[in-house]
A and B are shown apart, each in its own frame.
Chain A
Amino acid sequence: MSTVSLLGLSAALLLAGALVSLVLGGRRKASGWASVGFVGAAGVALWAVVVRTFSAGPDPEVTLLSLPAIGAGFVVSVDCLSAIFLAITGTIGFLTTLYSVEYMTRYRTDSVAKYYPLLQLLFAGIVGVVATGDFVFFLVFWELMTFASFFLVTFEREVRANQRAGFKYFVVNQAATFGMIAAALILWTRSGSFRFSAMRDALGGLVTTQPALAHLVLFLFFMGFATKAGILPMGDWLPDAYPAAPSGATAAFGGTMTKLGVYGLLRVFLYFLPLSPVTRTWGLAIALAGAVSLFVGTLTALKQDDIKRLMSFHVIGQVGYMFLGIGLGLFFLPSNPTLAALGLLAGTFHMINHSLYKSCLFLGAGAVAFRTGTRSLSALGGLRAFMPATAMYALTAALAIAGVPPLNGFASKWLMYATAILGGKAFPLFAVLGIVAMFISLVTLASFLKYLGSAFLGPPSPLRGVREVPASMLVPQAFLALACVVFGLVPAWPLAFVHRALTGLASAASLPRLESLLGDGPGLQAGSDLVRVAFWAPLPIAAALALLGLAAYFLIQRAAGAPVRNVPVWTCGEEAGPELSRYPATSLYLPFKRAFQGIYPSIHLRAPAFPSWLRRAFDLDAWLYLPVARAVEGGARAVSRTHVGIPQVYLLWIVVGAIAVVGIVLAFLG
């Protein structure tokens, strides 16, 4: 089957799934399992597109629908970059839907009819965004995605905070989208077409003739995508909106939707924008924006007590890393192809890694909330004893995001540091940014040690009856955690696909070959053919660590055969229960957190007050239903007052009635 028909099939499956799950909305599990089936089948179709695109090369563009009046058309265009996003969407989409089946039983009053259909529309929107080659339809799918996710954010209608978060999300993202529409229109006035290739020509012309206007266009695109990705300060909506959605949807947002900001960035700056000095300027801007985001976002995350809010701030921080890597790559693109390739690979690979571990972390946080009913770190503790599998996956993903070698987070961060430090020779600021990024990587570690230490380790919390989550919630976490390990141990494998995706973009077509960049051995040896300057070989390191650790355990620790005894925690002779001797999460790193107080001014976007007459006009209860109901009720009461229950009175009424009837009849006849 061709790419177009496979994509059509997956879209049809997602839409059919939305419909079926809507019809089945009254039956939680049935609706969920139906969605799993449809999303899974769509995922298989998407993976077929991915395999086809990478093995046989991208199919030529197909125009399904043409609107010559405005120069738009529904162009299906899947290149290797799109394919990577399709693979992520197919995988994460399926896993989060599977996870949701059990998770959604948590909501007793809210119907799943407003969850599964929207989740599948969200996936359909994402597929549309990455598979289209025309900006009008790009925006259509972009908006579909925004609408679906808006309703997922405001899923719990009774919670006012969630409503506010959803409103903020909607307003901020719509504003950003309007900017992108303006940018697209500026380009359209030049070329008269919304096709990506035409927009590329138009932008290329602008860069040489009207650089100021070109910068404006790029700025508007950048704002649009950075807002979706969660780059600060535009990403301020993110830590409010993400925790509000059900955990399955949050994981889908973190794993797929945020990443479309990165997709857009790559598409605009590596395809729309021809290689020029402008690329360099914007590379610097993007790198700086990324650095600010990773610094402020991650330090703010350290202070959070709500698990999902903590992780949402880390989304901002991690997106900062991606922007830093891509920014570095763009900066060096005109001058130093080797460093450019390393930076772009780092940013894009980090995006894939982030999809894996952040989805896993959100699912784990959801599992904790599912069993304990709370997301507050101060209220949790000792869950490892009751939820060992969830704890293990959370540990893996947490170490991966903190960049502990040899997990996947380290591989992409290593590439990024290498680019930043080596690029520091040409542009010293980048060395400083690299150092900042390494420092922030430690802050990430601190933050996730707090999560692990407070939720899973330590004395058990007073919560009772906590047990492991069902298998259908564990399998997605297990898969993602395993993927974190595999991508960490053999980074060369995913990097080969990323490299193909990047060189498929017109402005990056002349990047050096992968073997020239990273060597052809199993380990990564960054540099050029002439000189290798950075080394990271995960397999030998992991093997040595395992070997030395085992040797230390069996040849040293167990050699003397010391007896083992389990004892209670020593509290200095004081009889203190776990409630008294707990060290709460809020106390961790207090002096450090104080040092960075006030780094994140929180913005409270208020919903504007509707004009009162308009609200009254919409308030049908007040002026239609209630008055009518009151009139009906009053009338009924008046009638009922005549019913006194005394036979004589009824007889009297009959007599009076009969006389009246006779009188009327006589009057008419006469």
Chain B
Amino acid sequence: MNTGLLWTVGLAVLSVALALLLAPLYEGLMRKLKAAIHSRIGPPITQPYLDLFKLLGKEDLRTAGGLLYTAAPALSLGSVLLLALLVPMGARPPFAFAGDIVVLLYVSAISAVLLMLTAFGSGSPYASVGSSREMMMLLSVEPVMVVALVVGALKAGTLATGDIIAWQLEHGPTISMAIAGIAFFLALQAQAGKLPFDIPEADQEIMGGPLIEQSGPRLALFRWAAWSKQFVLAVLLVEVFLPWPGTGVFALDLVLTLVKAFVVLVVVALVDVVNPRLRIDQAMQYYLRVAFSSIAALAFAVIGM
């Protein structure tokens, strides 16, 4: 086995392991922070791990059958782990040869597609309402992420995630990438399903929306997928839009990335804790404005700023 292949495989295993094992820790830290702002003690940081462990052993109540319905939670988690392979973590992504930013964006939507199909399949009207909202959120948020990443691609003249980062490191911060980064951050709030954009799940009104009929291990997998996705997208944000200093030492870069991702998620948690939930039409209008503002980043990119 040559070293290049060994490195790729090792990095792939590491990326999957980080996305799988570290994501609940980040969620636990966010919960602790929210509790602190509420002047509560809050659950221990390991609570998400305990939640997952408990759910995995609970009875699995199903309202529907079929291959897709059975496989959807596992495939959903699998698609998020695949996303982790396409996202750089301290180095070029291990699957850089297999997918660029377009592939990355589409793979990131697979878990949402599976969640919506499961929700429709479960037969609950609350799940259908939740799916409808989930799709509308996706329609509002995804264009913002697309614009942000396309700005990077335009500037670097390539769609490869690793090359965009290399270009960033070489050329330093620019106005267009700063605007694009802010837009991507605003989209992250909704992608993570945090207030004020937890509209699809909206526990107090539609009882978890798409997840209402999911229980036990199925619920655990969907939750795990959501946490991993929030972690991976935060990593993507800091890697593409804040790659500095980029020491070139893998271990150091990785630790820096994880710290920066943590800071980003802390801000996400802060926004979450001080905001009430928006209505779906308000959220759509908000992201429409964000999308149009982020076009400014495209304009700056075109004139080379």
- Chain A residues packing against B (C-beta within 8 Å): 382, 384, 388, 395, 399, 402-405, 410, 414, 417-418, 421-422, 424-425, 428, 431-432, 434-435, 438-439, 442-443, 445-446, 449, 452-454, 457-459, 523, 525, 531-537, 540-541, 544-553, 556-560, 562-571, 578, 581-583, 587-592, 595
Contacts and interface: CB of A to CB of B under 8 A. Distances in A.
A548 B160 contact: no
B128 A588 contact: yes
B47 interface: no
9 contacts: A421-B159, A428-B298, A446-B139, A534-B158, A557-B74, A565-B59, A565-B60, A570-B213, A591-B284
Interface string B66-86: 101001011101110110010
Task: Pick the most buried of B59, B60, B99, B107: most chain A CB atoms within 10 A of its CB.
Answer: B99
A457 B81 contact: no
A583 B157 contact: no
A449 B124 contact: no
A551 B17 CA distance: 13
Contacts of A552: 73-75, 77-78, 81, 221
Given A442-B139, A557-B74, A540 B95 contact: yes
Given A534-B100, A583-B125, A591 B61 contact: no
B96 interface: yes
A517 B40 CA distance: 59
Which A-B residue pairs are the 5 nearest by beta carbons?
A453-B120, A549-B78, A548-B78, A553-B74, A583-B128
A contact patch SS: helix
A445 B136 CA distance: 11
B298 A432 contact: yes
Given A425-B157, A588-B128, A535 B60 contact: no
A536 B59 CA distance: 40
B252 interface: no
A583 B158 CA distance: 44
B146 A439 contact: yes
B38 interface: no
Interface of B: 16, 56-66, 68, 71, 73-75, 77-79, 81-82, 85, 95-100, 102-103, 105-107, 109-110, 113, 116-117, 120-125, 128-129, 131-132, 135-136, 138-139, 142-143, 146-147, 150, 153-154, 157-160, 163, 212-213, 216-218, 220-221, 224, 280-281, 284, 295, 298-299, 302
Contacts of A428: 154, 298-299, 302
Given A404-B113, A557-B74, A569-B63, A435 B147 contact: yes
Given A548-B82, A556-B220, 13 more contacts: A435-B143, A442-B143, A449-B116, A449-B135, A453-B120, A535-B97, A545-B79, A549-B78, A549-B79, A552-B78, A553-B74, A570-B213, A592-B136
B136 A591 contact: yes
A570 B299 CA distance: 51
B113 to A, nearest CB: 6
A263 B157 CA distance: 32
Contacts of B218: 557
A562 B107 CA distance: 29
Given A404-B113, A439-B146, A562 B216 contact: yes
Given A565-B60, A570-B213, A588 B132 contact: yes
A173 B298 CA distance: 40
Given A431-B298, A534-B158, A541-B107, A453 B79 contact: no
B143 A551 contact: no
Contacts of B163: 533
Given A442-B142, A550-B74, A552-B221, A425 B154 contact: yes
B142 A568 contact: no
B85 A544 contact: yes
Given A458-B120, A557-B56, A589-B135, A569 B158 contact: no
